Chains A and B, each alone.
Chain A
Amino acid sequence: MMIPVLLGVSFVIFGMLFFAPGDAADAILGDMATPADKQLFREQQGLDKPFFVQYLRYMKGVVFEGDLGTSYVTRQPVTDEILQRFPATLKLSALSVLLAVIIGISVGIISATKQYSFIDQFATSISMIGVSMPNFWQGMMLIIVFAVWLRWFPPSGFSTPMHWVLPVVTVGTNASANIMRMTRSSMLEIIRQDYIRTARAKGQSERVVIWKHALKNALIPIITVVGLSFGRQLGGAVLTESIFSIAGVGKLMVDAIKLKNFPMVQGGVLFIAFVMSLVNLLVDILYSFADPRIRSMYTRPRTKKPQPAKEAA
């Protein structure tokens, strides 16, 4: 299922940039070259061939060699440039998601179990404010307060754990707002279900009822939101990376766009789409772990025999 989507993405991006105004030869060779040079360049690069031929050549390069083209600016393979910067983006996203999950789920559960209490209303308001804040502005505010005024953390870069704090808090708190809301609404719905009443009727303690019976059921939509969040961050950390001067994929893309470095943009978008599809796949796998009904769709029922009952006589 992933494949057609990726093909679609590559087609759309390639198409968009192909028909964009601006000529590769002009961009790379600049003003110094003569028209004849440019024409030679075009022929060499195969830029004068029709659309589909170029598209197929490109895709062949991507699929068989992992070759996403060559950057106009640095003349280096796009793939290399991206892979060099990907770890930073990955680290930022992973840490942020971790923070977001920890804050989001715990606050969401508390909010749901003590509905309408002070904590609930406070958390709901804060999360609404958090969602409304553009995260690049939040980043800047955090820099002003914590890096400039208080000098607790460095304002940019990503090398030491101290450097990680501000960017991760920026992205993480934003994401946690969404996760908190989803946890809260999912838990509220689950708590109303009959089987929760059954669990209480067994004499089960409220803590176990909430954390085992309710939460396990509430996880599915929560996992969806977390997955989406992670995927979005991977691709969209553009702004945060800009603010904190983190050498990640997002910043690479933005710079490439400003410089009209089309192969980089194309390759970058394709790469990110690929990674996001992987994340989606991972989320689907997580679903089947969390919900046995979904698992049954994929597997045959396994019968685990604890111990033969006859022994107990």
Chain B
Amino acid sequence: MNDNILEIKNLVVHYVTDTTTVHAVNGMTISLKKGESLGLVGETGAGKTTTALSIMQLIPDPPGKIVSGEIRYDGQDLVAMSPAEKRSIRGNKISMIFQDPMTALNPVLTVGDQIAEVVRLHQKISRAKASIKAQEMLELVGIPGERYAEYPHQFSGGMKQRVVIAIALACNPELLIADEPTTALDVTIQDQVLDLMEKLMRDRGTSLILITHDLGVVAEICQKAAIMYAGEIVEYGTLEHIYNNTKHPYTIGLFGSIPNLNEDVDRLQPITGLMPDPTDLPQGCVFAPRCPDASEKCRAAAVPVVEVEPGHFVKCVKYHG
């Protein structure tokens, strides 16, 4: 009936401290089909990582709380699961890759052991077999299997990220969440790592949520894109929709601030202003303070989500009615 591997409905996540409450995610809704790749795009602080951690059920509590909303993986609500059930999904059915490869690996364990660990956690095989599997994964990501017994500090940044990918894919997960996997790497290495990810996922039919602030990367790898701003999805659709039929003023602004090889301009056009303070969000449309097309209607009430064409959703007053 439903070939959505992941459905998030109206997710609200807050970080609560003694003094303030950070509204990190405010009513976010997206879905992902099996085998699909979604790019989650937004500036720093938009709530992308929080969303990813929510899917993994790794939000540090305290101070983080999933206040309301559903996260359904293959029909089951992740939030309602027992800790043991959640653990059996992590690394096994849903894996995550984090942004900074330099600190993602445990410095006192060998890379081989760190890969073998995730295998042994979810599959009942012997230590020896797990080590072999780990070696295979190393080879798969382009690292010689003999380097099994080496330690993370003996690898470069790009290779560390490959090890991280090996760990993430070792149990053949159905969904991979990659949080800015190439941002911390040199530009030349970025390409290699992205190619690697793409190939591996294509071969295995893995679904992907790729979190990034780089629209170029999304264009290369993903089929769908969701633009996130201040904890909300402001525009969502296929690449066609987003890139060629951009509707939301924020998205338009994002594209406008990228240098264009074909044009000859004197200055880039950034979006004026800054993202709002997540402890003190404005009423009504959250982008209104920076929007060139803003009107009174925008600040008055909550903004509805409009399907401007099949599969293309925009959260903007302009397209309502």
Contacts and interface: CB of A to CB of B under 8 A. Distances in A.
The answer to whether A and B touch directly, with their CB atoms under 8 angstroms apart, is: yes
Interface residues of A, number: 30
B291 to A, nearest CB: 36
Contacts of A57: none
B277 interface: no
A142 interface: no
Given A292-B108, A293-B107, A311-B132, A202 B167 contact: yes
A307 B58 contact: no
A293 B153 CA distance: 7
Interface in B123-144: 128-129, 131-133, 135-136, 139
A292 B153 contact: yes
Contacts of A3: none
Interface stretch (B95-103, B203-211, B279-287): B95-103
B154 A301 contact: yes
Contact of A292 (B95, B131, B151): B151
B147 A198 contact: no
Interface in A268-313: 290-293, 296, 301-307, 309, 311-312
Nearest to A311: B132
B97 to A, nearest CB: 9
Given A200-B58, A202-B91, A205-B87, A312 B132 contact: yes
A306 to B, nearest CB: 4
A50 to B, nearest CB: 54
Interface in B69-116: 86-92, 95-96, 98, 100, 103-109, 112
The DSSP consensus for interface residues of chain A is: helix
B226 interface: no
Contacts of A201: 56, 58, 90-91, 95-96, 98
B131 to A, nearest CB: 4
A245 interface: no
Contact of A303 (B133, B147, B167): B147
Given A293-B153, A303-B146, A305-B146, A194 B87 contact: no
A291 B107 contact: yes
B117 A195 contact: no
Contacts of A312: 129, 132-133, 136
A301 B117 contact: no
Interface in A180-198: 193-195, 197-198
Contacts of A193: 103
B103 A304 contact: no
A161 interface: no
B105 A204 contact: no
11 contacts: A194-B98, A195-B106, A197-B98, A201-B58, A202-B91, A204-B87, A290-B108, A292-B107, A306-B128, A312-B132, A312-B136
Nearest to B121: A203
Given A198-B164, A296-B154, A312-B133, 6 more contacts: A198-B104, A201-B58, A203-B89, A301-B154, A306-B112, A306-B148
B130 to A, nearest CB: 9
Closest 6 CB pairs of A and B: A203-B90, A202-B91, A306-B131, A194-B103, A203-B91, A304-B149
A280 B96 CA distance: 42
A301 B111 CA distance: 13
A309 B149 contact: no
B316 interface: no
B145 A195 contact: no
A193 B100 CA distance: 11
B128 to A, nearest CB: 6
Contact of B151 (A200, A204, A296, A307): A296
